[in-house]
């Protein structure tokens, strides 16, 4: 009985998805309710994906080149953000003096959304890789710090006492007790970071860039090529999903013995 109803809902889901694409196709290519300059049909989107794979027109680079440019920038910014952000959060949570002196400044800086830094970075660093990577860095850095801070603070006092009773030094307790406790939090932070940095990258590329997926969809708007925009959006969505799936599987390998 239960299996049967599950099957029923799966069929409804599939029909709903098919209907979504069918209505989209009907509205655009078949009945032309929506002009193709506003929304391309799904078929047209697929054609454009195939075409952009090797053709540089009309925005200067092929799709793989745009993807590579975006990945390069976000990879650089994200890794820097994680490498600096996670240890900073740990240090702030573990040593009281660091907490007292750095937390207020950090709390102040984090109220400013990374997007707000874009114009300043463009003025200071131009529209190259460095400016975009700094925006990605900022948006990855903040969640990394917050989550590793919370993670370390979540360590049970009893566990710390036990470590101290057995003669663990402050640093040893940090590495043997606090950091393992904080790992799930740190991974949550990394995931949030990845999402927000991927989004910020798109904005950075739209506001000042000459390559990348954000640039491609911005050019699509200027040239009134809606198909280019939709292709860009789809690729952005797919890559974002792949990246978070990658982090998910990494988390499963690294984080052990999660207490529930």
Q: 242 or 259, CB closer to other proteins? A: 242
For 162-192, give one letter per residue: b (16+ CB within 10 A) or e.
ebeeeebeeeebbeebbbebbbbbbbbbbbb
Compute the least distance from the CB of residue 9 to other proteins, in Å. 4
* 56 phi, psi to nearest 5 deg: -85, -25
Nearer to other proteins, 25 or 180 (CB): 25
Q: Which residue number, 182 or 235, has a Cβ lying nearer to other proteins?
A: 235
Q: Kindly state the smallest distance separating residue 70's Cβ from other proteins, in Å.
A: 11
Question: Which of 207, 196, 156 lies closest to 180 in space, CA to CA?
Answer: 156
Burial of 247 (0-12, 13-18, 19+ CB in 10 A): middle
| In the complex, least distance from residue 106 CB atom to other proteins, rounded to whole angstroms | 10
| Footprint on this chain of other proteins (rule: CB under 8 A) | 5, 9-10, 12-14, 16-17, 20, 37-39, 97, 100-105, 108, 111-120, 122-124, 195, 198-200, 202-203, 206-207, 214, 217-218, 220-221, 224, 226, 229-230, 232-234, 236-238, 240-241
Smallest gap from residue 10 Cβ to other proteins (A): 8
Closest among 128, 92, 132, 130 to 110, alpha carbons compared: 92
Smaller CB separation from other proteins, 6 or 176: 6
User: How near is the Cβ of 63 to other proteins at its closest, in Å?
Assistant: 15
Classify residue 179 by its DSSP letter: H
Nearest approach, Cβ of 60 to other proteins (angstroms)? 16
Picking from 7, 174, 36, 195, the residue whose alpha carbon sits closest to that of residue 95 is 174
Helices (H) and strands (E) in the chain, counts: 11, 0
Measured from the CB atom, the residue of 134 and 163 that comes closer to other proteins is: 134
- Stretch (H or E) spanning 71: helix 63-94
Nearer to other proteins, 1 or 38 (CB): 38
């Amino acid at each position: 009985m239960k299996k049967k109803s599950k099957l029923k809902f799966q069929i409804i889901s599939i029909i709903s998805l098919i209907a979504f694409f069918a209505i989209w196709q009907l509205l655009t290519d078949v009945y032309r309710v929506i002009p193709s300059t506003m929304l391309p049909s799904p078929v047209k989107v697929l054609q454009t994906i195939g075409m952009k794979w090797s053709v540089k027109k009309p925005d200067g680079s092929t799709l793989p080149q745009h993807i590579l440019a975006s990945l390069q920038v976000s990879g650089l910014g994200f890794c820097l953000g994680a490498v600096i952000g996670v240890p900073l959060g740990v240090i702030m949570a573990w040593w009281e003096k660091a907490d007292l002196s750095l937390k207020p400044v950090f709390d102040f800086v984090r109220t400013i959304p990374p997007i707000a830094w874009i114009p300043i970075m463009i003025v200071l660093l131009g529209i190259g890789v460095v400016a975009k990577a700094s925006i990605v860095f900022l948006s990855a850095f903040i969640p990394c710090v917050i989550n590793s801070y919370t993670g370390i603070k979540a360590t049970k006092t009893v566990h710390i006492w036990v470590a101290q009773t057995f003669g663990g030094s402050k640093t040893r307790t940090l590495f043997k007790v606090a950091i393992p406790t904080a790992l799930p939090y740190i991974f949550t932070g990394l995931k949030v970071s990845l999402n927000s940095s991927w989004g910020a990258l798109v904005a950075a590329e739209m506001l000042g860039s000459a390559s990348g997926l954000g640039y491609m969809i911005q050019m699509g708007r200027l040239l009134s090529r809606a198909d280019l925009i939709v292709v860009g959006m789809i690729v952005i969505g797919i890559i974002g999903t792949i990246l978070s799936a990658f982090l998910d599987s990494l988390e499963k390998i690294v984080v052990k013995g999660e207490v529930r």
